């Protein structure tokens, strides 16, 4: 009977496509080699998104569970590392979305949202300083814009 370390060494020499085929069949050694090959890069991707070491480890663990649960669906259109990276990235982004704080609009209004909104009137030309009112009326005259009734008198 061959030793476990010899089997691991043989698995480590296999291509990703061969490891995927073995992992699809439930070979735990193939899972281990896939994780060893990709773990550092995938951790860095998770860590760069969630910005926390512990949460990055959780992201990676959940992503591995999803990936190995769906390993049979891996289509080989892209590299295995690319597929795993996408799963990790989606898991990390999902966690960031969940923890993003939200604020109810009612909490932004005084009295818990029970007061009427305040209307801030826009100043008319007649309420402006005389020099500014003259500049506005002159600009309207030079551009051919009709003066509003009573605003530039």
Domain ranges of the chain: 4-99
Q: Which residue has the higher pLDDT, 3 or 69?
A: 69
- Listed in sequence order, the residues at least 6 apart from 136 whose beta carbon sits closer than 8 Å to its beta carbon are 125, 128, 152
pTM above 0.85, yes or no: no
Check residues 42 and 1 and name the one with the higher pLDDT.
Answer: 42
> Phi and psi (nearest 5°) for 122?
-85, 135
CA–CA separation, 48 and 50 (whole Å) = 6
Q: Is residue 9 very low, low, confident or very high in pLDDT (cuts 50, 70, 90)? A: confident
pLDDT tens-digit series, residues 34-78 = 999 999 999 999 999 999 999 999 999 999 999 999 999 998 899
Q: Is the pLDDT of residue 19 over 70?
A: yes
Q: Which CATH architecture has domain 4-99?
A: Orthogonal Bundle (1.10)
Q: Residue 76 region, left (φ>0) first, then alpha (ψ -120 to 50), else beta?
A: left
């Amino acid at each position: 009977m061959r030793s476990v370390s010899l089997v691991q060494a043989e698995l480590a020499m296999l291509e990703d496509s061969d490891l995927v085929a073995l992992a699809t069949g439930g070979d735990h050694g193939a899972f281990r080699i896939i994780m060893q090959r990709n773990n550092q890069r995938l951790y860095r991707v998770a860590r760069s998104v969630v910005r926390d070491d512990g949460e990055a480890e959780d992201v990676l663990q959940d992503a591995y569970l999803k990936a190995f649960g769906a390993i049979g669906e891996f289509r080989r259109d892209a590299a295995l590392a690319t597929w795993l990276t996408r799963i990790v990235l989606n898991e990390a982004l999902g966690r960031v979305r969940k923890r993003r704080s939200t604020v109810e609009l009612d909490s932004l209004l005084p009295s818990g949202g029970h007061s009427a909104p305040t209307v801030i009137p826009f100043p008319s030309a007649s309420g402006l300083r005389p020099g500014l009112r003259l500049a506005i009326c002159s600009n309207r005259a030079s551009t051919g814009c009709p003066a509003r009734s009573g605003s530039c008198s």
